[in-house]
Chains A and B, each alone.
Chain A
């Protein structure tokens, strides 16, 4: 199989899924008595003035950054067969503690930001580490324990926010941590628009975008190019073969969950360091769950996740203009849901196709499992499956 052909197959599935999702969404829009073309137009209409258009780009990128990080966190665990559904709790805990610590210390600019990032990653890793430890020592399914820890995180974050880390005055309707000093605020990237000769948008482009890109590259290299990444993927492909090859599965579970949790810890930081400067009761929740969808859409590869996050953000942006066009914003959610569903189905189909094609390539049409035949010669088996 040529590389081009393989690339074609891997791109065909998501592309097909997007098309299927668009068809379904069109039907839905027609069913509610609206014009799907209007919806499409709203999706791609970024505004009339250059400033509005760059602002739309800012909105998309700002939304994509946390989605990308969330997808990345989920995918790292996915790659070794772990379903880290606890990203939600991990980033919540990480953000509240990082916000508290960041407000409590005084450091020069870059160091302050760095400290907050380290704290957030450490807390996220720690929270995910609980899941890992429970799994390797007690055999608790990571799905169960991470869901439970999500609830515990909600409660704990709330306790921290209303108790020791409360920074907002008594009686304020939104409870927040203390505002981060200027040294802890991540500078915006708006200079970029000037440098590119584009109109200055109204809002601020998260500087954290750079961190997300770096994290994406690091994760990509880690997974594809390092021994550790090989061990991780091998464990995901076949835990038994990985163990037999000398990989310590338990240690891998712990390490992988720590990495996944550390990345999860960063999810809240674009907002914290670039917009709100404090963690409050109205802090964006649910990114951890969206991350699962993004990871699936991106087929667990960092580049794919970047595309998936941008696609989700692109659709999310339209939520407001759609309402101006009298189309319910939930159309966006419908598109996103159907895309994810179609991608999962399309992935499975393309996997089967690739497998079949690979099977034909070598001229061996038998399924791989069907060749455990006996050798020529005398042979005594107690049972078909004995000792397997």
Chain B
């Protein structure tokens, strides 16, 4: 079945597909309202027992609300939930667990200094005469581990585990509580490709054992790889189902966004002669061991996007902070628009015309508990329109926030809305709008589309492209290889604090780039 504009298949009256076996999960006409907003409307969802069912949609489309409904975290205003054909009311996650539904959260909820065994049994400990029955727990965990090929060692401390292992612990935790339907919320967001493959292997095992998996994602390639069927959510409602075998990623994406998809590719070079940023021998000390940033030299010219690729934790964050004056240099110099700014304060650099999109917008980019107009001021405290002399110009700040909201499509009730009420994409668009409003000469963009849905992502790409065409120099740090290859004019690879390769994005595949990032091709292509 190809992508259709309506829920696929004629709904059987008894909640069963054609073969007579009831659906493991069926939602009929689920509507959930929050004051002033309908988060879910007429949701129709049918999940067969023993399949991997993907739910895709943009951020803010209502996936999370739906999953919370299914996990008993709140009750729908309308509609019914059928589990194995029986109408069920879920009042709490405990009800959901009792009904065999388990949730693997995107952010792991594990205690680092406990062992795998302790984490798994935490909350449902088998006891013998009031004491934790370790032997029994171990037996059951090893049993689960064997059956689903989770490969767990019960006695390892969780803090010693990698991300993929932790995720398997989470899965085991859910299975340990007897779940037969697993909800995985964005499970691949935190994984590297090899781990993603392993996860998909585990999902296959779960499926083989007859468990049902609901897989929330917006990584369409993955969804097509792993899912047996797909339901697409857009603007709070289910807009269709799709068969992954016959649907392309592009078709899916268009179903998700409801429009043609953008691509990050930039067409013509707009690189000019004048350099806006020149790093020379930039070195930043780490707390211990070798420097976090080691002898980095690079140049960003007007109208140029310089990309930095690299596995996270290889010094990109430190490099960005050094350029922004948030971290001291141990050696080297930073020149901005021909001036040595190594000794400048962060504020002086920002005033001079460096815009900054931090990688963690909650930590460095926003005041979550402040209204949007105050967030408009953040980082621009010394420049109009936000200020007049030593005073804050509230009216202008509000007006300019409204301008940004309309120009950059920030969806929020108004400038007095608190920042944490916005979705990630809208927060990010506000940050970009704010930084662009000051007409910077250089933009340091760290993961500008991280955690942003497809619609916002394309909007951000367009913004960056336009700014580049107008002569803005951009230093782009990203983990999204398509983004890096598509946007960059020049691409550097960062490994262990050093720039180990300079690549031409015009003739580069994500696979090749990935190889450089892990050091497989270290220095093979024109070292910097």
Query: A-side interface residues toward B, CB under 8 Å?
Result: 1, 224-231, 233-234, 237-238, 240-248, 354-355, 357-366, 368-384, 386-388
Inter-subunit contact A371/B421 (CB<8 Å):
no
Which residues of the other chain, B, contact A384 by a CB distance below 8 angstroms?
108, 163, 190
A37–B421 Cα distance when bound, in Å, is 46
Inter-subunit contact B313/A386 (CB<8 Å):
yes
CB B419 to nearest CB in A, in angstroms, measures: 8
B12 proximal to A (CB < 8 A): no
Known: A241-B378, A245-B381, A381-B191. A365 touches B362 (CB 8 A): no
Q: Which residue of A lies closest to B325 (CB)?
A: A246
Inter-subunit contact B312/A248 (CB<8 Å):
no
B311 proximal to A (CB < 8 A): yes
B326 proximal to A (CB < 8 A): yes
Inter-subunit contact A244/B219 (CB<8 Å):
no
Inter-subunit contact A373/B218 (CB<8 Å):
yes
Inter-subunit contact B379/A364 (CB<8 Å):
no
Contact of B347 among A248, A360, A363 (CB under 8 A): A248
B449 proximal to A (CB < 8 A): yes
Contact-residue size bin, chain B (C-beta under 8 Å from the other chain):
35 or more
B20 proximal to A (CB < 8 A): no
- Chain B residues 365 to 390 lying within 8 A of chain A, measured CB to CB, are 365-370, 374, 377-382, 387, 390
14 contacts between A and B (CB under 8 A): A225-B392, A225-B394, A226-B391, A226-B392, A227-B382, A244-B326, A360-B35, A360-B36, A360-B37, A372-B451, A374-B480, A379-B479, A380-B518, A387-B313
- Chain B residues 293 to 318 lying within 8 A of chain A, measured CB to CB, are 311-314, 316-318
Contact of A241 among B236, B365, B390 (CB under 8 A): B365
B107 proximal to A (CB < 8 A): yes
CB B441 to nearest CB in A, in angstroms, measures: 16
Q: Which residue of A lies closest to B425 (CB)?
A: A371
Which residues of the other chain, A, contact B192 by a CB distance below 8 angstroms?
380-382
A-B CB proximity, top 6 nearest? A246-B347, A386-B313, A360-B34, A363-B37, A245-B379, A358-B421
Q: Max chain A CB contacts within 10 Å: which of B317, B450, B518? A: B450
Which residues of the other chain, B, contact A370 by a CB distance below 8 angstroms?
64, 106-107
Known: A370-B106, A373-B218. A362 touches B421 (CB 8 A): yes
CB A199 to nearest CB in B, in angstroms, measures: 44
Known: A243-B346, A361-B421, A388-B360. A374 touches B479 (CB 8 A): yes
B153 proximal to A (CB < 8 A): no
Which residues of the other chain, B, contact A245 by a CB distance below 8 angstroms?
346-347, 350, 378-381
A240–B359 Cα distance when bound, in Å, is 12
Which residues of the other chain, B, contact A372 by a CB distance below 8 angstroms?
189, 360, 362, 424, 450-451
Which residues of the other chain, A, contact B219 by a CB distance below 8 angstroms?
374, 376-377
A240–B346 Cα distance when bound, in Å, is 13
A374-B219, A384-B163 provided; 20 other pairs, C-beta below 8 A?
A225-B391, A226-B390, A244-B346, A246-B348, A355-B418, A362-B411, A363-B39, A365-B39, A365-B64, A365-B68, A370-B107, A371-B424, A371-B451, A372-B450, A373-B59, A374-B186, A376-B253, A378-B193, A378-B481, A379-B481
Inter-subunit contact A363/B381 (CB<8 Å):
no
B60 proximal to A (CB < 8 A): yes
Contact of B479 among A1, A360, A368, A381 (CB under 8 A): A381
Inter-subunit contact A378/B482 (CB<8 Å):
yes
Which residues of the other chain, A, contact B59 by a CB distance below 8 angstroms?
371, 373
Contact of B370 among A237, A359, A382 (CB under 8 A): A237
A374–B424 Cα distance when bound, in Å, is 11
Contact with A along B316-347 (1 / 0, CB 8 A): 11100000101000000000000000000111
Inter-subunit contact B364/A244 (CB<8 Å):
yes
Query: B-side interface residues toward A, CB under 8 Å?
Result: 34-39, 59-60, 62, 64-65, 68, 74, 106-108, 162-163, 186, 188-193, 218-220, 236, 253, 311-314, 316-318, 324, 326, 345-351, 356, 358-360, 362-370, 374, 377-382, 387, 390-392, 394, 411-413, 416-418, 420-424, 426, 449-452, 454, 457, 479-483, 510, 514, 517-518
Inter-subunit contact B420/A355 (CB<8 Å):
yes
CB B352 to nearest CB in A, in angstroms, measures: 11
Which residues of the other chain, A, contact B517 by a CB distance below 8 angstroms?
380
Contact of B417 among A230, A361, A382 (CB under 8 A): A361
Inter-subunit contact A241/B417 (CB<8 Å):
no
Inter-subunit contact A358/B420 (CB<8 Å):
yes
A387–B497 Cα distance when bound, in Å, is 12
Which residues of the other chain, B, contact A227 by a CB distance below 8 angstroms?
381-382, 387, 390-392
A123–B333 Cα distance when bound, in Å, is 42
Which residues of the other chain, A, contact B457 by a CB distance below 8 angstroms?
375-376
Q: Max chain B CB contacts within 10 Å: which of A245, A354, A357, A359? A: A245
Inter-subunit contact A246/B350 (CB<8 Å):
yes
Which residues of the other chain, A, contact B313 by a CB distance below 8 angstroms?
382-383, 386-387
Contact of A380 among B39, B311, B318 (CB under 8 A): B311
Which residues of the other chain, A, contact B411 by a CB distance below 8 angstroms?
362
Known: A244-B379, A246-B381, A363-B37. A378 touches B480 (CB 8 A): yes
A241–B345 Cα distance when bound, in Å, is 15
Inter-subunit contact B363/A375 (CB<8 Å):
no
Q: Max chain A CB contacts within 10 Å: which of B378, B394, B450? A: B378
Contact of B34 among A233, A237, A365, A376 (CB under 8 A): A365
Known: A226-B391, A246-B347, A374-B479. A359 touches B421 (CB 8 A): yes
Which residues of the other chain, B, contact A378 by a CB distance below 8 angstroms?
193, 480-482, 510, 514
Inter-subunit contact A237/B481 (CB<8 Å):
no
Inter-subunit contact B37/A361 (CB<8 Å):
yes
Known: A375-B449, A383-B312. A362 touches B391 (CB 8 A): no
CB B461 to nearest CB in A, in angstroms, measures: 10
Inter-subunit contact A230/B451 (CB<8 Å):
no
CB B256 to nearest CB in A, in angstroms, measures: 9
A370–B370 Cα distance when bound, in Å, is 19
A223–B422 Cα distance when bound, in Å, is 25
Which residues of the other chain, B, contact A242 by a CB distance below 8 angstroms?
378
Known: A362-B413, A375-B450. A229 touches B392 (CB 8 A): yes
A239–B194 Cα distance when bound, in Å, is 37
Inter-subunit contact B36/A361 (CB<8 Å):
yes
Known: A241-B364, A244-B358, A376-B218. A382 touches B311 (CB 8 A): yes
A305–B188 Cα distance when bound, in Å, is 49
Q: Which residue of A lies closest to B457 (CB)?
A: A375
Which residues of the other chain, A, contact B317 by a CB distance below 8 angstroms?
387-388
Inter-subunit contact B420/A359 (CB<8 Å):
yes
Q: Which residue of A lies closest to B74 (CB)?
A: A365
A361–B372 Cα distance when bound, in Å, is 14
Which residues of the other chain, B, contact A387 by a CB distance below 8 angstroms?
312-313, 316-318, 359
